[in-house]
Chains A and B, each alone.
With several copies, the nearest count.
Chain A
Amino acid sequence: MTSIEQNSSASPQESVLAIINSKAPFSSSHGKDALDVALIFAAFEQKVSLFFQGDGVYQLMDKQDGSLLGIKDYLKTFSAFEFYDIEDIYVCQPSLASRQLDEDFHIDDVQVLSSIEFGLALNRHQHVLRF
């Protein structure tokens, strides 16, 4: 979707934190815990990027509805990323492909990257947390 060159020109400086989301959204609280960290960094005006890999890509898929499970659907908060200036959202293309998922996300401006691009994007961050 977006080439590395565009990414580099869009954010030439190193961001302080990359968060890798690796878990599916509803059965564990990892996704919510990662979101809380992302929002607090943004609130403190620290540049944070979100990476979705493995089962973490399920967090981005459109037409989900956690309320059917009786839970508060934290995925709806993803729509606040723009407000919080969380602009760099990367998803691993091979993770989508192996799960037979289309690039059909519930938020805009998600950048679908190959494994190599995904790794290079991670490299542009000073610190990495993984949930």
Chain B
Amino acid sequence: MKTLAVVITTPPYSHLTITALTYVEAALVAGINVIGVFFYQDGVMHANENISIASDEYQAIEHWQRLQKQYQLPLHICITAAEKRGIACDAIDNDKINKAFTVSGLGELVELTTKASRLVQF
């Protein structure tokens, strides 16, 4: 079975994220088992519930939410990286975090890496 784990390090307002999203969606459409997406560094900004991108700009966060819903794609954010960027704060379940994302530690990255046949970083 082809299994894939993806690491995202670019924020939602970076156009580089569109490439990553297109890649992950293409993998899902091709029937690849994407076992999880791990958001690290500025990638965690995707989980900030308060981000407001102009409506005529690319809506990266909505796109991740759609993939999560449609394919039960696990989206993990790194809590340490999130706290540094004003997202995760103290409570694990709070209104600052977009519900499509799971707050995880770097241990989750170990889990994904050891399970996946391929690891791709964007």
Residues of A within 8 A of B (CB): 16-17, 26-30, 33, 36-37, 40-41, 44, 46, 69-72, 127-130
- By the criterion CB–CB under 8 Å, are A44 and B58 in contact? no
- By the criterion CB–CB under 8 Å, are B41 and A16 in contact? no
Give the tally of cross-chain contacts (CB within 8 A).
57
Interface residues on B, range: 20 to 34
Task: Say if the beta carbon of B18 comes within 8 Å of chain A.
Answer: yes
Task: Say if the beta carbon of B80 comes within 8 Å of chain A.
Answer: yes
Neighbouring B residues of A29 by C-beta, 8 Å: 13-15, 41
Q: A127-B119, A129-B119 are in contact. Are A70 and B110 (CB under 8 A)?
A: no
- By the criterion CB–CB under 8 Å, are B13 and A41 in contact? no
Q: How far is the CB of A82 from chain B (nearest CB, A)?
A: 20
Could you pull out 5 A-B pairs where Cβ atoms are within 8 angstroms?
A: A44-B107, A71-B18, A72-B57, A127-B119, A129-B121
